[in-house]
Structure 1
Amino acid sequence: MSQAISLQHALRRPAILAIMLAAFCALGVAVWAQVGGERGIAPVASTSDIQVSGVEVDVHADTGTEAREKAWVEAQRKAWERLDGPELSDSQIEALVSAIVIERERLGPKRYIATLGVVFDRQRASRYLGAQGEATRSAPMLLLPVTVSAGTQMIYEQRNPWQRAWAEYQAGQSRIDYVRPAGAGGDSLLLTYGQTGRRSRTWWRNALDQFGAADVLVPIANLRYTYPGGPVEGTFTARFGPDDDFLGSFEMTAASPAELPAMLDKAVVRFNRLFETALANGTLKPDPTLNIGTPELSPALQRLLEFGRSVRAQDQAAATAEPTTESGDAITAAPIRTPPPEGSVALYTVQVATPDASAFDTAVSSVRGTPGVRNTGIRSTAIGGTSVMTVSYSGTIAQLADALRARGFTVSQGSNALAISR
């Protein structure tokens, strides 16, 4: 009997090993599949040349080849007119052209219909056009193009038309310094739609450092397919920064799915204008809270702290001064500490340790409920780090520190600022 049981165990072992091996193989295939496959779309190399897109031509000739040659000459002339260039001959204009981009074409036996793009060499054309378009560029901005369709959100999980439109955009003339990931390999695991909802500066700094970017741009394309083969309605929203700040939005419609790539190309151009407008207005600048290497989280807070230090230094100098009588004898007087007038409030900076979202909510509620606190404001939110509040308090900073200690906080006092934790 015991020999039979031993024989059964011996027969089971190879089967168990085979099952375990199959499981490990399947796991390996699953892990590879998360980052493998045809995902990445490499962005085109950006140049500083002057490109004019969407030039439409329709030319008849004795042969299709001759019609195409005449059409290209006509496209170059039309593109030069769009740039408001001076009057030049066709041969002179042709000498300034570095490339012809075929956006769409139909070639017949004696006819050529196309939509072309004409690229002019900036060095050669600048003597006729001047230094137009030269302006200060933005800091490097990580681009996360989000596609929302059929209830799903996607960035680089798989190739999609919105990603391709941004990858093929010629950004050399833009004032925005786009950092466009290819989306291959680990990009699809790191740069997901969930990342756009994170507020932790540590998470964002780790992601931005991998791509050499200073901040993030999130162009969102919400696509609605009305019916199979029918129009595609798009709502486009521009957002910016780790706090997902709103910059603008617009709507466009493609007559059919075949027209969708052309609509997305036009949407990319409109997004670029939105971003450039925000840059000109001073809105599109790197968030100072992403620079985790410095203790000051923003220039405004830095100025506030410096002002507090200067006022305190003046008070200390006035309090420690030793006035003298007419006979020259020194008069020793105790420093006078004058409390704020009744009903007046002072603005203080409070840094709060917020290891998680629950700690953040609890700390904000406790500070707002502290006796004497008239108003509070959130300067920056850093879940997993240190958030910053501004507190309007009817009293001195020492009194505010005592009031917060009574609420159960551990308080460290600085110049016109407090650091609290639990």
Structure 2
Amino acid sequence: MSASLSLPSPGAALSRPLRRWLGGAVLALALLGGGYALVAQVAGERGIAPTAASADIEVKGISVDVKGKSAEDARANGWREAQKRAWEKLKGPKLSDSQLDGLVSAIVIEQERLGPRRYIATLGVVFDRQRAASYLGGAAQQVRSAPLLLIPVQDSGGAYITFEQRNPWQRAWAEFNPGASRIDYVRLSGAGGDSLLVNFGQAGRRSRAWWRSTLDQYGATDVLMAFARLDHQFPGGPVSGTFTARYGPDSRPIETFTLKADSADALPAMLAQAVERMDGIFTAALNSGKLRPDPSLRLGAGGEIDPAIQRLIEIGRAAQARKAAAAAAASGAVPRIEAQIVTGVEPGEAAVRNISVQFATPDAAAFDSALGAVRGTGGVRGVGVTSTAIGGTSVMSVSYAGSLEDLAAALEARGFSVRRGANALAISR
């Protein structure tokens, strides 16, 4: 007769209160981890502020190889020679050394080697725009474009990155000096909420309401997209880059080109060259009229719709009225004439006031629908989004010619459920 020894299972060894305590601890850790993940979306060192935001005129890539009585004298001779060559590149008139010294605001050292009596370097020369413009004439006085939001997108290994983390393509645009360009770039640092508002998903978005809200946040009128696909043959080896310049909320392609770097160390120079070439593409598109403002993104004074779009709306309404009149005539019924809402400013009209309106936005379609419905309400002079929260409650500021009760009644007539507050409304469907 053999005796058997039964051991308790590992789960049974834990008392029920202990298991309950451990379960609560695991849940707390999960909640803390989730909160950390939310903070991590906007925290961390992800921003690269533009290092060259000057409106001055910069000429890069000036190579010099000069000699002097000493190392300091050779360097001075090299800088003076770089000033002359940079001025020649700008096709400026012949000036003396002292006159050029008065126009130059900075010398940028890209590479340099200094010997006892010799100076070999690649330099950049920055000319003060205010002082140099009188010599350069129309070349420096050309009208620049409207402010255009720039979205740099890097594709590396199938991962599309804008401002979610620091990357070489964003750094190349941050180090670019647009002083001599005709494009008025709005360049973001990527810090704070930039990575949430402007990401690769935004680059593929088509909703005009979303784009208006984003562009208004940064004071831009339209958008430029700079795509860079980087293919590494092997770690530290040659890098092939395919670059595409795109324009507008529909991401219309303008031009594509390719460049190659012999090694990973040469990648920054290749990207800097790509930025210069892409700036030339955008400038050529501006000169040829391709960078026309998108009418669907522009709102006139007081929030009025662009005249071209308003004309299309009027044509559609007229066609609907003719169809309704024809149907009424065929049935023998008397056509009903509806009073049209007059949105112009009339004598004796109520003063315009700003009213905060909260609206539920479970998804992007609800966001667009609510904005469009409020904009189309009679008496509304303008609508601006002050807070966007997809999956929650967003807030808009409405300029309305009338009282809070008048706006509430008008929104209720459009099918909204309205709750009233102190100079604020909350609406929902």
Please confirm whether the aligned pair reaches a TM-score higher than 0.5, indicating the same fold.
Answer: yes
- Of the three residues 256, 267, 271, the one matched with 1:249 is 256
Q: Which residue of 1 aligns with 2:216?
A: 209
User: Structure 2, unaligned stretches of length 5 or more?
Assistant: 1-11, 323-328, 330-364, 373-429
Q: Which residue of 1 aligns with 2:238?
A: 231
Q: One-letter code of the match for 1:112?
A: Y
Q: Which residue of 2 aligns with 1:278?
A: 285
1:178 to 1:300, Cα distance in 2 relative to 1, 3 A? same
- Of the three residues 94, 97, 112, the one matched with 2:104 is 97
Aligned length in residues: 319
**DSSP 3-state at the match of 2:205:** coil
Q: One-letter code of the match for 1:228?
A: P
- Of the three residues 146, 150, 153, the one matched with 1:146 is 153
In the alignment, does 2:28 pair up with 1:30? no
**DSSP 3-state at the match of 2:83:** helix
In the alignment, does 2:162 pair up with 1:155? yes
User: Structure 1, unaligned stretches of length 5 or more?
Assistant: 316-336, 338-358, 360-381, 387-422
| % identical equivalent positions | 56
Deviation at 1:384, TM superposition (A): 9.6
In the alignment, does 2:139 pair up with 1:119? no
Deviation at 1:183, TM superposition (A): 0.6
Matches within 5 A, 1:354-365: none
Deviation at 1:306, TM superposition (A): 6.5
More deviation, 10-19/117-126: 10-19
Q: What is the CA deviation profile of residues 33-60 of structure 1, one whole-angstrom value per residue up to 9, with x for unaligned ones?
A: 2222211001135333222111111123
Deviation at 1:202, TM superposition (A): 1.9
Deviation at 1:212, TM superposition (A): 1.7
Q: Which residue of 1 aligns with 2:204?
A: 197
In the alignment, does 2:149 pair up with 1:181? no
In the alignment, is the contact (CA less than 8 A) between 1:47 and 1:173 conserved in 2?
no
1:297 to 1:125, Cα distance in 2 relative to 1, 3 A? closer
TM-score by length of 2: 0.66
1:48 to 1:30, Cα distance in 2 relative to 1, 3 A? closer
Deviation at 1:127, TM superposition (A): 3.2
CA distance in 2 between partners of 1:146 and 1:28 (Å): 28
CA distance in 2 between partners of 1:128 and 1:286 (Å): 32
Deviation at 1:310, TM superposition (A): 10
Q: Which has the larger radius of gyration?
A: 1
TM-score by length of 1: 0.67
CA distance in 1 between partners of 2:233 and 2:320 (Å): 66
In the alignment, is the contact (CA less than 8 A) between 2:66 and 2:120 conserved in 1?
yes
**DSSP 3-state at the match of 1:59:** strand
In the alignment, is the contact (CA less than 8 A) between 2:58 and 2:179 conserved in 1?
no
In the alignment, is the contact (CA less than 8 A) between 1:139 and 1:285 conserved in 2?
no
In the alignment, is the contact (CA less than 8 A) between 1:200 and 1:384 conserved in 2?
no
CA distance in 1 between partners of 2:80 and 2:40 (Å): 49
More deviation, 159-168/283-292: 283-292
Deviation at 1:295, TM superposition (A): 9.8
1:305 to 1:124, Cα distance in 2 relative to 1, 3 A? same
Cα RMSD over matched residues?
3.5
1:188 to 1:139, Cα distance in 2 relative to 1, 3 A? same
